[in-house]
Structure formats: structure tokens, C-alpha cells
Amino acid sequence: MSALIVNKTKKKEDIILAALKVFEEKGLSNSTIKEIAETAGIGKGTIYEYFKDKNEIIHNSFFYFQKFFEMDMGKILLSNEKGSSKLKNLIRSIMSVLRSENNDYLDLMFDFWAEGIKGHEKGVMLTEMNKFYRSYRKLFEDVLREGIKDGSIRKNIDPFETSSIIIGTLDGVMVQWILDKEVIDLKKIEKNLINLILNGAGVSLIKKEESK
Amino acid sequence: MSALIVNKTKKKEDIILAALKVFEEKGLSNSTIKEIAETAGIGKGTIYEYFKDKNEIIHNSFFYFQKFFEMDMGKILLSNEKGSSKLKNLIRSIMSVLRSENNDYLDLMFDFWAEGIKGHEKGVMLTEMNKFYRSYRKLFEDVLREGIKDGSIRKNIDPFETSSIIIGTLDGVMVQWILDKEVIDLKKIEKNLINLILNGAGVSLIKKEESK
Amino acid sequence: MSALIVNKTKKKEDIILAALKVFEEKGLSNSTIKEIAETAGIGKGTIYEYFKDKNEIIHNSFFYFQKFFEMDMGKILLSNEKGSSKLKNLIRSIMSVLRSENNDYLDLMFDFWAEGIKGHEKGVMLTEMNKFYRSYRKLFEDVLREGIKDGSIRKNIDPFETSSIIIGTLDGVMVQWILDKEVIDLKKIEKNLINLILNGAGVSLIKKEESK
Amino acid sequence: MSALIVNKTKKKEDIILAALKVFEEKGLSNSTIKEIAETAGIGKGTIYEYFKDKNEIIHNSFFYFQKFFEMDMGKILLSNEKGSSKLKNLIRSIMSVLRSENNDYLDLMFDFWAEGIKGHEKGVMLTEMNKFYRSYRKLFEDVLREGIKDGSIRKNIDPFETSSIIIGTLDGVMVQWILDKEVIDLKKIEKNLINLILNGAGVSLIKKEESK
DNA sequence: CATGAATGAGCCTTCATTCAT
DNA sequence: GATGAATGAAGGCTCATTCAT
């Protein structure tokens, strides 16, 4: 690959990072190309050498944004632990990523969700978002199935629906945290969340599937 | 009252409903006053007889939007059922509201979330949203405490954190549904969600608090 | 004349007075019909029962405005004093009117001057303004001629040009006063002005026309 | 300097000149940015590359407008002539400037006066106008004092008040000329004005200060 | 007669995009 | 490739005027 292409990629990345910063601050619609260019330290016109229009910046920003949340789950998934343990570790791992590293951009989630179902080229983004969620669910689904197989997860849960629910929980808890950080304590939530997901809130002498 | 006196409240409502429709379709920023006026079947200038500016329309739309999700929980809360049953009914009730009646506007949630933390007058909306979530959490918290008292909910869960988690779950599941209705089946989710929340996914012979 | 007509005239006057008040505060262009109506204590629509449009209000306001400066010069003009004395009294009289009574509206002079030479129907106003100035000049001209006749005013001044100059002086001094009341002291100006007009600033042993 | 670099100052001047032309024709409020842009031969948006808003154009136009009346008085002020002669020449010089060169824009004086005491940012303009008048008065004041010293101007006039009066006269005469050019002949006025200011209109055998 | 709700022409201003250098 | 000056479409908002009551 020639140095030229590498540089081009590097510059696109610079622009996207600048865009994300501006988007995060002002929202998608209220961010201007001028501001993005300034943040990227380049000329306004230069942006158009790398992106067709503002929409393309938005889409590419979203792709990049998603990468923030890609994490190496290999260690967890390939470990010898039981499914329930992997589930626990997965949740912890995800929450720690959301909580710390990239939480600068986390609230862009809202903007992208909104843009995904509206916006001019919603199709592209929606597809991408759904792809993201589908593989995200698959991740949990696999762990749940493992757990069912190894006896650490109850048999009577539906792995697909439950993975969707667990992910929903993580998203939803983030929403409240983003909106009201003074009241929501993610650390405490994490502990309770794992407890709830594994043990439930209800009281029953013996778990049903074990009861027969 | 003579016809001369215009029902200001009614007309405001008309405008807000039109605004919600347009917002839902285009997003907050991409909706124009002209479009809202046309949707409401009135002149552009008339809008400004009822609202100071576009921001005020957005705020009021949000207030109105929230009302969609206000529901009469009285029957559930005042029933003689146990806490765990109330919790179950609460979740079912909320999901049925979200799923059906007003799901036309449901995805505006994203826009308002985004507007809440950014947007020009984020303060007002954020405050309002947090008020909403706080009382929403209080609702669940109370039911959970009841359940703890009546023995239907485990003692070792934190009612506050858990209420936050349950609400998060409902929000998060909605997100996936809105984004991917073809794949997400709310009915199935509902069943699994209640199961998960009450019983957890993990396997354990006897629930911890009963174990001693 | 029927009471109806009298009332109509009265109401027109009310509107004009309200208009003048608003105009004085905001300027011609920045005053709104709504504001004028409110100041007049009537409905916005009612204005149009009495005036065709905003321009007509402006014109009529100007006519009315002029009346503020109409004063009874009869006593001065018909007195037995010499021309130079009458001139002195005339100037004093005019300055006292400008200075006190109606100085509330005085600075509207600027707006009307501007409107007079621009504005949509400048013709009407300009004609009216020139009529005003022409009769204003005539007033001084007559007094000057009287003075020349009775020997109190020098023969070698041109009554017409000089009347124009004297009026100009009064206007111009007002301009500075309106703009910078802290620095301009009308009382002192008055004394000096009369001195200057009667005696001039130059030194010469004997006035020229008397010198031969 | 490369052609890339636009001469910002030159372009600002172009816009201001266009603005002055439009203002002169329509008045401050009734002039539109579109019209100014068209007159300047540029696009509407371009205006905003050089001026923040319409108000800034108005202010800058006023500054520019003032410059029309800046003239080189050096030759007059530094001459060896007596004060009374300098006064005469000063008046002639000013009137000739007003009469000829820039009389295209002269009637903007009214608009700026009006804007100065009303208008959105009256403060800035009023300050500037008063600064202008103060230094304008100082000019005459100095000449008058000189004349008093060299015996060509009477001792019993107040230099400050008199300078204010003389300037007022010039302004006021201009007003009448602008309003009624058919009737007012500036050339004749000039002659009479100098005569009046130096010799006064009154008859008295011997000037007071010489009378003892 | 009086009113004020309704209206849309028209204004100022922003900003994505183009293009000459 | 890089730039930023230029642009005009488009949007929010105002306000004189109309008109049904």
C-alpha cells in the first residue's frame, strides 16, 4: 500500500475524530463543517477532498464510533470458565469500557440512534446499527448457550431473547447514567445488575428447572 | 364562551401534535416551522402566536410526548397482590403501552435524549427528563420494597439500583425493537424479561437468602 | 358637527398621540402597529378603521408633530417694539418652546426629516415640511424687513437668506443639544446666539452701513 | 501578495459604499442586505464574511460617512491670517465640501442622527457622533480664541457657545437646503451667513467692546 | 364599530458546498 | 492536494394587514 493511501486514510481518520468531538459537543445537526475543519486543523475545503458531504462524515463517524466499543472479548470467551461466569465477566467488561475509556463520546449514541431511523440516508446507518446489535446479541447468545450446556445457566431461558434483554439492560442503564450522573452510580448498578441477571429479584425456594 | 375566543389550549395541542408528527419523521433539527404549520393546517405565522420560538415547540412537544407514557398505574399499585406480582403487572403494562398505542412517536425518544444533553436549552429538558426518570424509578422502587416486605422479592437486592436496572431494561429493549422490528419480537421479549427479572438466568439450588 | 364625527377625530388624535410616543421611543420603522394600538389602549384592528396604513399614521403624526411647534407669536409680532427686539423675542420664544414643553418628541425631528426625503410617500411629507419651513422663514423675513424699515436691523442683510440662516441656527443648535445634552447648555447658547445674530462676532469700529 | 489573498479592507469599503448608496435611497431600516449585496455586485452571503450583521454595516457606514466631511483644514489653520479671516475661510471651506463633493450622501445625516438616538445600538453611534461634534466645535473654538487674541473677534463672545452656534448654523442651513433645494441657494446663503456671523444683523453705532 | 386571531410576504442570517488559485 | 472566499438556498422569525365575528 503506498504511503499516499496510508496518508489519505490517516487524514480521513483525523477528520472523523474531529467530527466526533464536535458532534459530541453540539449534536449532529448543529455541528458545522467549518468547526470540524478547525478542530481537525485543516481547511474547510479540504474536508470535501475526503468526504462527499456532511452525511458521509456522519456515517463514517458512526462506523468509527462503533469501534470504540469493539473490545477484545477473546480472553473471556476462550477461557475455561462456566457460561455464567463468562456472562458475568462479559457484562463487567462491557460496563467498564462504557464507563471509562470512551465515555467522552458515549452520549453520541443518542444522536446516532436518532439519525439511524431518520436522517437522509437512514438505510445505511440503520443497517450498520442492526448489524452491530445482531452480532452483539450473538455474542451473548453464544455464552448463554454455553452456560445452558454446562449447567450454569437455566435451561428455560431463551438465549436469543435473553441476550437482547441483557444488552437492552446495559444500554438502558447507560441512558440513565448519561442523563443523570449525579444520581446513577454505575459501580453499584453493575453489582446489582449481575445479581439480578443471574439470580433474579423474585423469591422461590428452589429454581423451577431444578425442582422436578 | 363565544366563538370569538379561540381555545388556545386546544390549538397549542394541535400544533404540538403536528410538530410531533413532523419531528418523528424528520428529526428535531430537520423539521421546519413551515412543515409543522402545514401539518397543523395553519399559517406559518400562526405558530408564533402560540409559541415563542422553535425551541419552545420542542420543549412542549417533549412534555406532551411524556404524557403518552403516563398511564394509570393505580389499579396495579393499589391491588392486593404481592410485590412480585405488581412488578410483573407493571412491566407488562408499560410494555403494552410502549408497544401499541403511541408507538408512532416512540422513536422520538432518541431525539429528545440527544436534545436533552445537547441542544440549545438542554438545561430545561434535561431537568424534565431527570424528573421523569426519578419518579419512574420511585415507582418501581416502591413496588420492590413492598415485595421485600411481603416476602415475594428477595431481601438482598437494592430497590433503588434494581429499579434503575429494570427501567433501563425496558428502555434498552425498546431501542432494539425500534431499530430492528423485524428481528425483535416484543411479545416474546416480555415473557422472557419477566422471567429473567424474577428468576434470573443463573442456576443455583437454593436462593442465597434462603440458604442459611 | 355630529358627535360621531367629533369622536372619530378624537380617536384619530389618540392614535396619533400614541404613535408619536412610540415613534419617539423606537423610531419610525421599528415601531409596530401592535405597540401603537396598545399605547392607545385600543385593538390592533381598530387602527385600520382610522388610518389606511402605517404610512398614513406616520404622515398624520408628522402633521400633528408640527403643531407642537406652532405657537402664538401674535403678541410678539403685533407689539410696538422695534424689529430687532421682535427678532430677539421671537428667538427666545421659539427656543423656550423647543427646550421645554414638547421636547419629549423633539428628536422625532430627525426621523421625520429622514422620512421626508425617503419613505414611500416622501412627496406628501416633503411638501408639508417645505410648507412649514417656508412659512417659518416668512415669519422671520417679515420681522427682519420691519427692522430694516425701523432702522434696528442693518440694511445690507438679505431678509430671506438671513431668515433661513437664523432658522438653521435654531435647528442646528437643537441637533447638538439633542445629541449631547450633557455638553450643550441651551440657556447659555440662547444668550450667545442672540448676541451673535445681532452683533456678530467680528470687530469693526463702526458698522459698515453706518460708516459712510 | 498573491491574488489568493483578498483585500479585505478594499472589499469592506466596497460594501460600505454600496450600503451608503442604498441607505441614501431607502433609509437605514428599509434597505435590505440583498439590495446592498446586489449594489456591491456580490452575493448576499458574502456580506456576512465582512460584517457581523446589518448593524455593523450601519455603524461602519457612519464612520465612512463622517470621513466625507473630514477635510484638510491645515492650510487654513496654519495660515498667517487673522482669526476672523480663518473663521470665514473655515466656513467657506466646509460649505463647499457639503455643497459639492459628497452631497450625494449628505441627507444620510438625518438617518444617522435618528439612528444615533434610537436604533438598536444607539450607544456606539451616539458616542461617535458626539466625539465628532466635540472635535468639530473645538476647531471653531480655537479659531475664535485666536481671533479674540489678535483682535479680529470680539472679546465678549463665548468661544465655546459660539462655536456650537456656528456649527449649528451650518447644519441647519444644510437641512433646509436638503429639504428644499429649489428655494435655498447655498451660494447666497454662504455670503449672508458670513456677513451675519461677523457683523450681526443688528444696528449699533459702535460695537460694545469698543464703546468704552 | 371594535377586535385580535390568522396570515404570508419578506427580512436577516446561517452554512453546506463549490471553485479559482 | 489544499484552501478559504464566495455563494444562494433555506430557515426562523416579524409584522403590516385582513377579516370573521
Output helix, strand, coil percentages for chain B, rounded to the nearest 5: 70, 0, 30
Q: Give, in Å, how far the C1' of F10 lies from the CA of C18.
A: 38
Q: Which of A142, A176, A175 is nearest to A159 (CA)?
A: A142
Q: What is the phi/psi pair of residue C30, to 5°? A: -85, 0
Distances (CA, A) of D134 to A28, B132, C196, D126, D129: 53, 62, 20, 12, 8
- Per-residue pLDDT tens digits for A29-57: 999 999 999 999 999 999 999 999 999 99
Does position D183 have pLDDT exceeding 90, yes or no? Answer: yes
Kindly state whether C141 is in contact with chain D, defined as any CB-CB distance less than 8 angstroms: no
Same domain, B109 and B199: yes
A131-143 average pLDDT score: 92
Q: Are residues C72 and C46 in the same domain?
A: no
User: Does some domain include residue A7?
Assistant: yes
**Residue C130: predicted pLDDT:** 92
Residue whose Cα is closest to the C1' of F5? D6
Beta pairing partners, C206: D206
Residues of B in contact with A200 (CB under 8 A): 154, 196-201
* Mean of all residue pLDDT scores within chain A: 87
Torsion of CA C1, C2, C5, C7, to 10 degrees: 120
What type of residue sits at position B13?
Answer: E
DSSP state of A103: T
Q: What are the C-alpha distances in Å from C31 to residues C66, C125, D7?
A: 20, 19, 39
Vertex C30: Cα angle to C28 and C32 (nearest 5): 90
What nine digits make up the cell of C41?
A: 389602549
Average pLDDT for A51-71: 89
Q: What is the pLDDT along chain B (212 residues), one digit of tens a residue?
A: 344 455 778 899 999 999 999 999 999 999 999 999 999 999 999 999 999 999 999 999 999 998 877 777 788 888 888 989 999 999 999 998 888 765 688 989 999 999 988 867 667 889 989 999 999 999 999 999 999 999 999 998 999 999 999 999 999 999 999 999 999 999 999 999 998 999 877 776 444 444 43
In strand E, which positions have an atom below 7 A from any protein CB? 1-21
Q: Does D127 touch chain C (CB under 8 A)?
A: no
C1’ F8 / CA A23, Å: 26
Evaluate whether C183 touches D180 at the Cβ level (below 8 Å): no
> Does D68 share its domain with D46?
no
In the chain, the amino acid numbered A27 is G
Residues B110, B26: one domain? no
Contact (CB<8Å) A30/B176: no
* Residue showing cell 419512574: B136
Q: Are residues A35 and A90 in the same domain?
A: no
CATH number at residue A42: 1.10.10.60
Q: Is residue C33 part of a domain?
A: yes
Asked whether residue A17 falls in the same domain as residue A116, the answer is: no
Which positions 101-120 on chain D have a beta carbon less than 7 angstroms from any atom of strand E?
none
Per the DSSP assignment, residues forming a β-bridge with D116 are none
Residue D209 pLDDT > 70: no
- Contacts of A109 by beta carbon, 8 Å cutoff, 6+ apart: A171, A174, A178
Q: Is the CB of A160 under 7 A from strand E?
A: no
Find the angle CA(B106)-CA(B108)-CA(B110) to the nearest 5 degrees: 105
Is-contact B51 B60, C-beta < 8 A?
A: yes
Decide if A56 is inside a domain: no
A182-191, C42-51, D73-82, D186-195: range with lowest mean pLDDT: D73-82
Residue A129 CA to residue A63 CA, distance in Å, equals: 9
Determine the Cα–Cα distance for residues B121 and B123; give it in Å rounded to an integer. Answer: 5
Expressed in percent and rounded to 5, the helix, strand and coil fractions of chain C are: 70, 0, 25
Q: What is the pLDDT of residue B61?
A: 94
Q: B105 and B186 in one domain?
A: yes
Q: Using alpha carbons, select from C95, C84, C194 the residue that is nearest to residue C140.
A: C84
B114, B173, B205: residue with CB nearest A206: B205
How far apart, in whole angstroms, are the C-alpha atoms of residue D84 and residue B24?
A: 80
Strand E atom within 7 Å of D1 CB: no
Task: Write phi, then psi, for C153 (nearest 5 degrees).
Answer: -120, 140
Confidence of residue C209 (pLDDT cuts 50, 70, 90): very low
Q: Is residue A209 pLDDT above 60, yes or no?
A: no
* D151 residue type, one letter: G
Average pLDDT estimate for C43-67: 93
* Number of folded domains that form chain C: 2
Residue A99 has pLDDT above 90, yes or no: no
Question: Is residue D167 predicted with pLDDT exceeding 80?
Answer: yes
Residue C6's pLDDT is 52
Residue B57 lies in a domain: no
- The answer to whether residue D73 scores a pLDDT higher than 90 is no
Instruction: From D164, D66, D174, select the one nearest C179 (Cα to Cα).
Output: D164
* 3-state secondary structure at position D207: coil
Q: Residue A142 in contact with residue A135, Cβ under 8 Å?
A: no
Q: Do A118 and B30 touch (CB under 8 A)?
A: yes
Query: C1' nearest to CA of C47: which nucleotide?
Result: E2
> Does chain D touch chain C (at least 3 C-beta pairs within 8 Å)?
yes
Taking the CA of residue D197 and the C1' sugar atom of nucleotide E5, their distance in angstroms comes to 61
D85 shares its domain with D38: no
Rounded CA-CA distance D207/D205 in Å is 7
Which of C154, C165, C179 is facing D189, going by the closest CB pair? C165
D58 Cβ contact partners less than 8 Å away, ≥ 6 residues apart: D19, D23, D28, D115, D119, D125
Shared-domain flag, residues A41 and A106: no
Q: Please check whether residue D5 is in contact with residue D27, taking contact to mean a CB–CB distance below 8 angstroms.
A: no
Q: What is the pTM of this model?
A: 0.88
Q: How far apart (Å, rounded) are the C-alpha atoms in residues D108 and C77?
A: 36
One domain for residues B44 and B79 = no
Backbone angles phi, psi at B13, to 5 degrees: -65, -40
Chains C and B touch (3+ CB pairs under 8 A): no
Q: Which chains, if any, share at least 3 CB pairs under 8 A with chain C?
A: D
- D141: amino acid identity, one letter: E
Place A61 in a pLDDT band, splitting at 50, 70 and 90.
Answer: very high
Whether residue D15 contacts residue D64, with contact meaning beta carbons closer than 8 Å, is answered with no
Tell which A residues from 58 to 87 touch B, by Cβ distance under 8 Å: 84, 87
Q: For residue D31, say whether its CB is under 7 Å from any atom of strand E.
A: yes
Asked whether residue C144 carries a pLDDT value surpassing 70, the answer given is yes
Residues 153-182 of C with CB under 8 A from D: 153-154, 156-158, 161-162, 164-165, 167-176, 178-180
Q: Is pLDDT at D207 greater than 60 in this prediction?
A: no
User: CB < 7 Å to strand F — which of 5-44 in chain C?
Assistant: 30-34, 44
Contact C176, D175 (CB under 8 A): no
Are D111 and C116 a contacting pair at CB < 8 A? no
* Contacts of residue B177, Cβ cutoff 8 Å, sequence gap at least 6: B184, B186, B189
Least CA distance to A143: which residue of chain B? Answer: B201
For residues C160-168, give the mean pLDDT. 95
Do B4 and B96 share a structural domain?
no
Contacts of C96 (CB under 8 A, 6+ apart): none
Q: How far is the CA of B206 from the C1' of F12 (A)?
A: 64
Is the predicted pLDDT of residue A1 greater than 70, yes or no? no
**Alpha-helix residue ranges (DSSP H) falling in C69-121:** 74-77, 83-99, 108-117
Q: Which nucleotides of F are covered by protein (CB under 7 A)?
A: 1-21
Label residue C101 by pLDDT band (50, 70, 90).
Answer: low
Cell reading at B201: 438466568
- The arithmetic mean of pLDDT across residues A68-81, rounded, is 80
The pLDDT of residue A119 is 64
Neighbours of A211 (CB within 10 A): 9
Please name the nucleotide lying closest to D5, CA to C1'.
F5
Residue D212 has pLDDT above 60, yes or no: no
Nearest nt to the D37 alpha carbon by C1': F7
Q: What is the pLDDT of residue A208?
A: 45
Asked if residue B100 and residue B47 are part of one domain, the reply reads no
In a domain, D56, yes or no: no
Look-up of cell digits 484638510 = D72
Distance CA C43, CA C33 (A): 10
Q: Put residue C116 in one of left, alpha, beta given phi > 0 → left and psi -120 to 50 → alpha.
A: alpha
Contact predicate D116/D133, CB 8 Å: no
pLDDT for the residue numbered C112: 93
Residue A206 bridge partners (DSSP): B206
CA gap D108, D16 in Å, rounded: 13
The amino acid present at A192, given as its one-letter code, is N
Q: Nearest nt (C1') to B49 (CA)?
A: E5
Query: How far is B80 from chain A, CA to nearest CA, in Å?
Result: 18
Tell me, yes or no, if C135 comes closer than 8 A to chain D by beta carbon: no
Q: Choose between A93 and B3: higher pLDDT.
A: A93
CA distances from B168 to B165, B173, B181, C53, D99 (A): 5, 8, 19, 60, 79
Fill in the DSSP letter of residue D206: B
Contact A129 B179 (CB under 8 A): yes
Range of the domain at C25: 1-51
| C-alpha span between B144 and B139 (Å, rounded) | 9
The position carrying cell 388556545 is B8
SS3 state at A120: coil
Asked if B152 and B144 touch (Cβ cutoff 8 Å), the reply is: no
Residue A44 Cα, gap to closest chain B Cα (Å): 23
Residue B101 is predicted with a pLDDT of 60
From the list B134, B164, B201, which residue is nearest A198 (CB)?
Answer: B201
- Residue A98, sorted as left (phi over 0), alpha (psi -120 to 50) or beta, turns out to be alpha
The answer to whether A and D touch (≥3 CB pairs < 8 Å) is no
Distance, C-alpha C45 to centroid of its chain? 32
pLDDT above 90 covers a percentage of chain D that reads 62
CATH number at residue A87: 1.10.357.10
Handedness of CA C68, C74, C80, C83 (dihedral sign): positive
Q: Would you give the distance in Å from CA A49 to the centre of its chain?
A: 30
Protein residue at shortest CA distance from C1' of E14: D45
